[in-house]
Amino acid sequence: MKPFIKVSLIITTYNWKEALELSLLSGLQQKVQPIEIVVADDGSRPDTGKIIAKIAAQAPFPIIHSWQEDQGFRLSASRNKAIAKTTGEYIVLIDGDIIMEEHFIADHIHFAQPNCFVQGTRVLLKKKLSEDVLAQKKMPATICKQRVENRKNCLRSPLLSRLASLKNRRMNGVRTCNFAFWRKDALAVNGFNEDFIGWGREDSEFTARLLNYGLVRRSVKFNAIAYHLYHARNDRSHLPENDSLLKETVDNKKIWCERGVAAYL
């Protein structure tokens, strides 16, 4: 029997309250619940706050709205401020367009190990299915049969998961829309690097520093399933600069970033 682990769930968001509502509600429906949810809000309008307050009123655990002023895409700062507000020992990080399968938190707890961080399983919903889910405010029972990009990822199997969820030290395919780590490890590398401007590579750079710190990655398959709502591609105009920052961290085996979570502790 694994000892009880206090899990803090962080959900990032920016001006998509309809998706965030479904994400929060899926958090309330977990078989094993987190001790808290912290919404890392990168400057959404007040209507997002109203949705959070409505769901918080019915939640059996605290839901904390961590808001920062809208000054452009500042995901790293938003996540760092949310990490600073957490009280759990283990952090599960998702995006606000993620709907969690009901065993999601339980599966992440199962795979939580010292000196390890976890990449969970992502199911990509096609555009029409995403529109239907948002309109009906629920996931259909037949989701695995059609209208998803990667159907095999819908399968939840403890047996297959034990066989396929391998440890490695690779960075490829890292997506922090379904990601978990020990809080103390995030603090040891100073969280997310706020030198990143615009979308892209801040998650890979955070992963690189965790690896440089000596951790290993566990790529969980057939467990910890997250349903990712369809959305248009983000603006990639800042990728060249962000790629350079990532390369510098990898080449120099950096562990610490200067502008990180320590500023909020």
Q: What is the pLDDT of residues 166-217, one digit of tens each?
A: 999 988 888 899 999 999 999 999 999 999 988 888 999 999 999 999 999 9
Residue 143: the pLDDT is 60
Domain ranges (residues) in the chain? 7-264
Residue 263: the pLDDT is 98
Query: Please, are residues 227 and 132 in contact by the beta-carbon 8 Å criterion?
Result: no
The single-letter code of the amino acid at 70 is D
- % of the chain with per-residue pLDDT over 70: 97
Residue 245 has pLDDT above 80, yes or no: yes
Q: What's the whole-number mean pLDDT along residues 87-115?
A: 97
What predicted TM-score, i.e. pTM, was given to this entire model? Answer: 0.95
Worst-scoring range by mean pLDDT, 108-112, 125-129, 143-147? 143-147
Residue 257: the pLDDT is 98
Q: What's the whole-number mean pLDDT along residues 17-23?
A: 97
Q: What's the whole-number mean pLDDT along residues 231-254?
A: 87
Residue 145: the pLDDT is 56
CATH architecture of residue range(s) 7-264: Alpha-Beta Complex (3.90)
Residue 130: the pLDDT is 93
Residue 240: the pLDDT is 87
Worst-scoring range by mean pLDDT, 131-135, 136-140, 218-222? 136-140
Residue 232: the pLDDT is 78
- % of the chain with per-residue pLDDT over 90: 80
